[in-house]
Amino acid sequence: MEDRALCYTMYAVIPTIASCASFFAMYRRQVNEGVPINYSIIKTLLGFSVLIWLAVVFSNLFYNRSITNASIAEFSFVMIFSLFAAWHFNTFVQNVLSKLGTAIDKDAVSVVPTIEDAEKAGELVLLAEDHAVNQVVISKQLNRLGYAVEVADDGRQALTLMENRSYGLLLTDIQMPNLDGLRLSSFIRAKEKEHNRKRMPILAVTGKALKYKSEIYSKSGMDAVLTKPLELALLKENLEEHLHQPASRVEHKKEDVKIESAVDLDVLKSIVGDDQDIILRLFTLFITSSPDTIAEIHLAFTNQASHEIEKLGHKLKTSSQSVGAVQFSALCLELEEAGSEDNWDRLNQLNSQLDQKFDDVLTFIQIYQNP
What sections of 173-275 are H helices per DSSP? 181-195, 214-219, 232-243, 247-256, 265-272
Beta pairing class for 202-206 and 149-152: unpaired
Q: How far is CA 52 from CA 15, 42, 59, 78, 211, in A?
A: 9, 16, 10, 12, 49
pLDDT of residue 53: 66
Say what the alpha-carbon torsion angle 354, 358, 360, 361 is, to the nearest 10 degrees. Answer: 150
Q: Are 168 and 244 in contact (CB under 8 A)?
A: no
- Burial of 27-59, coded b for 16+ CB within 10 Å and e otherwise, reads beebeeebeebebeebeebbebbbebbbebbeb
Q: Are 79 and 54 in contact (CB under 8 A)?
A: yes
pLDDT of residue 81: 61
pLDDT of residue 161: 94
Contact partners, residue 11, CB within 8 Å, separation at least 6:
52, 55
pLDDT in tens, 160-169: 999 999 999 9
Mean pLDDT (the chain, rounded) = 76
DSSP state of 166: -
DSSP state of 175: S
pLDDT of residue 232: 80
Q: Are 217 and 204 in contact (CB under 8 A)?
A: yes
Say what the alpha-carbon torsion angle 233, 238, 243, 247 is, to the nearest 10 degrees. Answer: 140
Residues paired with 125 in a beta bridge: 149, 169
Q: Are 253 and 223 in contact (CB under 8 A)?
A: yes
pLDDT of residue 301: 92
Find the helix or strand (DSSP H, E) in which 3 lies.
helix 2-33
pTM of the model: 0.44
Q: Are 293 and 257 in contact (CB under 8 A)?
A: no
Per-residue pLDDT tens listing for the chain (371 residues)? 445 555 556 656 666 676 677 777 766 655 544 455 666 666 676 676 677 666 666 666 555 455 455 555 555 655 566 656 656 666 665 555 555 544 444 444 457 889 999 999 999 999 999 888 788 888 888 988 889 999 999 999 999 999 999 999 999 998 888 888 888 999 999 888 888 888 999 999 887 655 445 667 787 889 988 887 777 888 888 999 888 754 333 333 333 333 346 788 877 776 667 778 888 888 888 888 889 999 999 999 999 998 899 989 888 888 888 788 888 888 898 888 889 888 998 898 888 888 888 888 888 888 777 75
Q: Are 145 and 232 in contact (CB under 8 A)?
A: yes
pLDDT of residue 228: 75
124: left (phi over 0), alpha (psi -120 to 50) or beta: beta
DSSP state of 204: E
What are the DSSP calls for 120-160, one per residue? HHT--EEEE---HHHHHHHHHHHHHTT--EEEESSHHHHHH
pLDDT of residue 283: 87
DSSP state of 304: T
Amino acid of residue 319: S
Find the helix or strand (DSSP H, E) in which 206 lies.
strand 202-206
- Rounded to an integer, what is the distance from CA 144 to the centroid of its chain? 18
Task: Estimate the crossing angle of helix 2-33 against helix 39-62, to 10 degrees.
Answer: 170
pLDDT of residue 34: 47
pLDDT in tens, 44-101: 766 766 776 666 666 665 554 554 555 555 556 555 666 566 566 666 655 555 555 4
Q: How far is CA 96 from CA 84, 103, 141, 238, 367, in A?
A: 19, 8, 14, 19, 53
